[in-house]
């Protein structure tokens, strides 16, 4: 089997590359390295089943060799990144998604979209189910990401209905693990980076907003299972175990044996107050649920950050 992975130099994308190469699949990565890193792939560069194309998917309109599946993971995903690259974010999820869908259609390949829990915005229902259409402020700075992913889902479903293209959509909730960048605006690596250096831990708002944290190995397993079934509608993937940001900060502080104080800061515009996936559909369709407990996963990523000195 041959799989094309856009954004394969990113956090989740590079772990997918490892997963499939270990299964002896052929992998082609397309990434322009805007937010991804070649370091995430360097251990695979000599693999005969691996090909790395440095390109912007917004400019890619054809892939010469045949393939079976296209997994579209290209997109700035952290708050700092999509706020720094707002137009690039909107373009990759519109023009880039359209280009990749056309390529998949031309090759009669299955298409998998990496969507996000951010399509739910600041949700008015809890936990979030796939049939909830969300509460997104399209005028907020965050909308460059939220609305772009929503539009990408619409594109995918349109190709599915119009051309009968085999498609899948995974709505990814907060995921953490090795290869995250220390200061990209995501809460887990930011808190760990500061705790290791005994610097103040930034807490936005009063820290009572909740998140659900899924370890990367669990997420990769969920994405792989979603890729293998014939189901076109979105599937939530995430850990339904809910924690406040303040609870997370206190746990990270304990695991890092840090004396860092808490530094409370204003809550960003349209920042979700609650985030928890309903994974009933993933359990039913994929026989999947997260296995790694939060403390267990945090120990692994803290060890990685200490070794990388990041």
Is-catalytic flag, 176?
A: no
In this prediction, residue 195 carries a pLDDT of: 95
pLDDT value at 268 more than 90: no
Tens of pLDDT, residues 105-120: 999 999 999 999 999 9
- All domains of the chain in start order, with CATH: 2-176+214-239+277-291 (3.40.50.720), 187-209+242-275+296-308 (3.90.25.10)
| Residue 244's pLDDT band (cuts 50, 70, 90) | very high
Q: What's the predicted TM-score (pTM) here? A: 0.96
> Are 290 and 297 in contact, with CB atoms under 8 Å apart?
no
Tens of pLDDT, residues 92-145: 999 999 999 999 999 999 999 999 999 999 999 999 999 999 999 999 999 999
Question: What mean pLDDT value characterizes the chain?
Answer: 95
> Are 207 and 245 in contact, with CB atoms under 8 Å apart?
yes
pLDDT value at 196 more than 90: yes
Tens of pLDDT, residues 197-220: 999 999 988 999 999 999 999 999
Q: Which of 145, 163, 176, 215 is catalytic?
A: 145
pLDDT value at 270 more than 70: no
Average pLDDT over residues 73-96: 96
Average pLDDT over residues 284-292: 98
Nearest Cα neighbor of 35 from 3, 68, 83 is: 83
pLDDT value at 269 more than 80: no
| Residue 297's pLDDT band (cuts 50, 70, 90) | very high
Tens of pLDDT, residues 21-63: 999 999 999 999 999 999 999 999 999 999 999 999 999 999 9
């Amino acid at each position: 089997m041959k799989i094309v992975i856009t954004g394969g130099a990113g956090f989740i994308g590079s772990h997918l590359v490892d997963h499939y190469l270990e299964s002896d699949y052929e992998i082609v990565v397309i990434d322009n390295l805007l937010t991804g890193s070649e370091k995430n792939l360097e251990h695979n560069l000599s693999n005969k089943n691996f090909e790395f194309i440095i390109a912007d998917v917004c400019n890619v309109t054809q892939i010469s060799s045949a393939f079976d599946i296209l997994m579209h993971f290209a997109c700035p995903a952290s708050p700092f990144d999509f706020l720094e690259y707002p137009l690039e974010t909107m373009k990759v999820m519109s023009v880039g998604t359209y280009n990749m869908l056309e390529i998949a259609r031309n090759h009669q390949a299955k298409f998998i979209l990496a969507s996000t829990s951010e399509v739910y915005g600041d949700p008015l229902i809890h936990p979030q189910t796939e049939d909830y259409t969300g509460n997104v402020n399209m005028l907020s700075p965050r909308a460059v990401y939220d609305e772009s992913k929503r539009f990408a889902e619409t594109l995918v479903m349109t190709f599915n209905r119009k051309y009968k293209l085999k498609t899948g959509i995974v709505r990814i909730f907060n995921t953490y693990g090795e290869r995250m960048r220390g200061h990209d605006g995501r809460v887990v690596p930011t808190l760990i980076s500061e705790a290791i250096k005994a610097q103040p831990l930034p807490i936005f708002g009063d820290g009572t907003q909740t998140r659900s944290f899924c370890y990367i190995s669990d997420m990769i397993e969920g994405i792989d299972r979603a890729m293998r079934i014939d189901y076109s509608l979105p599937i939530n993937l995430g850990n339904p175990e809910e924690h406040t940001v303040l609870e997370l900060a206190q746990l990270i502080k304990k695991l890092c044996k840090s004396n860092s104080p808490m530094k409370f800061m204003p809550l960003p515009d349209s920042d979700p107050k609650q985030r928890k996936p309903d994974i009933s559909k993933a359990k039913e369709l994929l026989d999947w649920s997260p296995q790694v407990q939060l403390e267990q996963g945090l120990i692994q990523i803290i060890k990685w950050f200490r070794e990388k000195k990041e």
